[in-house]
């Protein structure tokens, strides 16, 4: 089933490029992928912290290289996120004016690459699948994007290429830092070597810094964030849904999978730097988001801003904070995908997303207004949504411990400042909702049609998942906490 979640989108993309019906094939593949992810979720053994459903094919025995896939609690949540957002993005795509087959193939390749990276246990394929997903991202923006698409495509290409190169250097150095007898591409073997003290403290500091910068650029960590809002504003809505909702989470997953468990001394050494940078995401980018005058740019900056909370959970280095980070990764992926999908529908109908041109749309688009309002409530962390569960765990985890410092320390200061980010996000999200859907409606928008009934399915799927894991976050905690308990103090 793990192989099905990876290769079903990829095989469907190849079939579409060979002439198969684009939309029908893409929808079928996304439904099968979602069904396979649900099967993995239903069959997951909560009593185990090791990888489950493991499949391995030797590639190069002398290099200890093999194509190995499997899921534990952390990777299963990421696979589930990828499958849900893929189905929603394909459903939102609709008819494409030109090169429809290539468009849908690119969407499926992003999905297959992202899910493949999350499910890979081998370091080589972990990196290779992510690179596979980046190429169609550039094409979707450059070919099918909106205004300023060429500049946005070049900018995201340059930024993410640099980030991927730095990440590659960090992964190579991680591999080289392990003694020959322990050296392997298998992530499980590398974690065992790290737990046995085979990676020196000095090596950990150098490798962690490279991984933090490489992953940080891919995640839009301040000050490497400027590519994201411009790219998302120019991208077609389904591409923005997949990249902001799923692919950008690869860097966060990489920090949780590699950097924290294998390089704890490096994480401890650079913790202060990470806290300062993540506050840039929360406070500085949050204030910039308030100043935006277009809905698409506001959503792009808000996506960058919310990465700061997840970084805070990762930096907290305790089970509560890191588990909250995983829950928020899942919740943010769903909520931002919902908001970008609805924004894309507004742009199709009105031709503009400038706040000055909108207003009162809920009068003629009541379902869209309701769905966008639910997405806004989730994004600001309203209780009942999964975002709130993730944020509250992050705040408690970061405020309590950090890196075993027994006095009032930088993590507690950062948590207090991050709480102001909740106020900032509430201001810009509610302002956007009011400007777009409330108030007087312009005469030119009175004939607009609401979302077609078919789009109620992906909207309902995204909202239902947010509410389900908002009311029952313990199901995720039971899955993820054993993964982190192996190398973090369980009583934090």
Spatial separation of the C-alpha atoms in residues 96 and 200, rounded to whole Å? 53
Instruction: Give residue-wise pLDDT tens across range 136-160.
Output: 998 899 888 877 888 888 888 999 9
Inside any domain, residue 435:
yes
Inside any domain, residue 173:
no
Q: Around Cβ 87, how many Cβ atoms within 10 Å?
A: 25
Give the HSE-up count for residue 44: Cα atoms under 13 Å, Cβ half-sphere.
27
Q: What is the pLDDT of residue 168?
A: 94
Inside any domain, residue 410:
yes
Inside any domain, residue 218:
no
The pLDDT of residue 224 is above 80? yes
Give the HSE-up count for residue 481: Cα atoms under 13 Å, Cβ half-sphere.
17
HEC profile of the chain:
CHHHHHHHHHHHHHHHHCCCCHHHHHHHHHHHHHHHHHHHHHCCCCCCCCCEEEEEEEEEHHHCEEEEEEECHHHHHHHHHHHHHHHHHHHHHCCCCCCHHHHHHHHHHHHHHHHHHHHECEHHHHHHHHHHHHHHHHHHHHHHCCCCHHHHHHHHHHHHHHHHHHHHHHHHHHHHHCCHHHCCCEHHHHHHHHHCCCCCHHHHHHHHHHHHHHHHHHHCCCCCCCHHHHHHHHCCHHHHHHHHHHHCHHHHHHHHHHHHHHCHHHHHHCHHHHHHHHHHHHHHHHHHHHCCCEHHHHHHHHHHHHHHHHHHHHHHCCHHHHHHHHHHHHHHHHHHHHHHHHHHHHHHHHCCCEHHHCCCHHHCCHHHHHHHHHHHHHHCCCCCCHHHHHHHHHHHHHHHCCCCCCCCCHHHHHHHHHHHHHHHHHHHHHHHHHHHHCCCCCHHHCCCCCCCHHHHHHHHHHHHHHHHHHHCCHHHHHHHHHHHHCCCCCCC
- Closest C-alpha among 269, 327, 336, 449 to residue 89: 336
How far does CA 172 lie from the centroid of its chain? 24
The pLDDT of residue 65 is above 80? no
Instruction: Give residue-wise pLDDT tens across range 278-297.
Output: 999 999 999 999 999 999 89
Spatial separation of the C-alpha atoms in residues 83 and 437, rounded to whole Å? 30
Mean pLDDT throughout 268-276? 89
The pLDDT of residue 80 is above 90? yes
Mean pLDDT throughout 61-66? 73
Q: What does DSSP say about strands 65-71 and 52-60: parallel, antiparallel, or unpaired? A: antiparallel
Phi, psi of 60 (to 5 degrees): -145, 95
Inside any domain, residue 229:
no
The number of domains in the chain is 1
Q: Around Cβ 84, how many Cβ atoms within 10 Å?
A: 26
Inside any domain, residue 237:
no
Nearby residues of 139 by Cβ (< 8 Å), 6 or more positions away: 102, 106
Domain that holds residue 315: 280-492
Is residue 254 within 8 A of residue 123, CB to CB? The reply is: no
Is residue 67 within 8 A of residue 90, CB to CB? The reply is: no
pLDDT band per the 50, 70, 90 thresholds, residue 489:
low
Instruction: Give residue-wise pLDDT tens across range 436-474.
Output: 888 888 888 888 888 888 899 999 999 999 999 989 988
Is residue 233 within 8 A of residue 343, CB to CB? The reply is: no
Structure-derived torsion over alpha carbons of residues 118, 121, 126, 129, reported in degrees to the nearest 10:
-70
Beta partners for 65?
A: 60
Inside any domain, residue 477:
yes
pLDDT band per the 50, 70, 90 thresholds, residue 405:
very low
- Closest C-alpha among 319, 352, 436 to residue 74: 319
- Closest C-alpha among 148, 171, 168 to residue 232: 148
Inside any domain, residue 189:
no
pLDDT band per the 50, 70, 90 thresholds, residue 491:
very low
Q: What is the pLDDT of residue 459?
A: 93
Instruction: Give residue-wise pLDDT tens across range 11-28.
Output: 999 999 998 888 899 999
Instruction: Give residue-wise pLDDT tens across range 305-340.
Output: 999 999 999 988 888 888 999 999 999 999 999 999
- Closest C-alpha among 167, 171, 3 to residue 71: 3
Beta partners for 58?
A: 66
Spatial separation of the C-alpha atoms in residues 51 and 211, rounded to whole Å? 23
């Amino acid at each position: 089933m793990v192989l099905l979640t990876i290769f079903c989108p990829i095989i469907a993309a190849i079939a579409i490029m060979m002439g198969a019906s684009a939309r029908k094939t893409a929808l079928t593949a996304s439904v099968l992928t979602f069904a396979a992810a649900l099967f993995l979720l239903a069959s997951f053994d909560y009593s185990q912290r090791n990888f489950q459903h493991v499949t391995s094919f030797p590639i190069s025995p002398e290099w200890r290289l093999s194509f190995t896939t499997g899921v534990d609690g952390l990777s299963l949540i990421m696979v589930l996120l990828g499958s849900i957002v893929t189905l929603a993005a394909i459903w939102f795509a609709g008819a494409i004016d030109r090169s429809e087959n290539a468009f849908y193939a690119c969407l499926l390749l992003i999905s297959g690459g992202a899910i493949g990276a999350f499910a890979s246990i081998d370091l080589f394929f972990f990196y290779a699948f992510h690179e596979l997903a980046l190429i169609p991202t550039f094409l979707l923006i450059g070919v099918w994007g909106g205004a300023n698409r060429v500049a946005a495509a070049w900018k995201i290409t340059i930024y993410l290429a640099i980030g991927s190169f730095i990440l590659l250097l960090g992964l190579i150095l991680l591999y080289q830092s392990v003694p020959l007898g322990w050296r392997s591409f298998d992530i499980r073997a590398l974690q065992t070597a790290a737990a046995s003290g085979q990676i020196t403290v000095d090596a950990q500091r150098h490798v962690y810094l490279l991984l933090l910068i490489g992953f940080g650029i891919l995640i839009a960590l301040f000050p490497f964030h400027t590519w994201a809002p411009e790219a998302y504003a120019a991208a077609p809505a389904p591409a923005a849904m997949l990249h902001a909702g799923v692919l950008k989470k690869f860097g966060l997953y990489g920090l949780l999978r590699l950097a924290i468990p294998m390089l704890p001394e490096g994480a401890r050494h650079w913790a202060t730097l990470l806290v300062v940078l993540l506050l840039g995401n929360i406070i500085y980018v949050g204030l910039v988001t308030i100043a935006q005058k277009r809905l698409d740019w506001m959503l792009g900056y808000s996506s960058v801003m919310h990465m700061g909370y997840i970084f805070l959970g990762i930096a907290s280095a305790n089970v509560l904070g890191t588990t909250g980070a995983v829950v928020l990764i899942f919740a943010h992926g769903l909520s931002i995908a919902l908001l970008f999908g609805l924004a894309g529908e507004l742009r199709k109908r009105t031709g503009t997303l400038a706040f000055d041109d909108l207003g009162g749309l809920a009068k003629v688009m009541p379902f869209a207004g309701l769905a966008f309002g639910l997405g806004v409530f989730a994004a600001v962390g309203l209780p009942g949504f999964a975002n709130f569960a993730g944020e509250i765990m992050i705040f408690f985890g970061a405020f309590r411990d950090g890196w075993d410092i027994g006095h009032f320390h930088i993590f507690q200061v950062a948590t207090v400042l991050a709480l102001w980010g909740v106020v900032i996000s509430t201001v810009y999200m509610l302002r956007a909702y009011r400007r777009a859907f409330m108030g007087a409606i312009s005469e030119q928008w009175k004939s607009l049609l609401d979302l077609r009934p078919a789009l109620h399915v992906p909207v309902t799927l995204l909202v239902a998942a947010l509410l389900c894991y908002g009311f029952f976050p313990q199901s995720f905690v039971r899955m993820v906490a054993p993964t982190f308990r192996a190398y973090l103090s369980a009583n934090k």
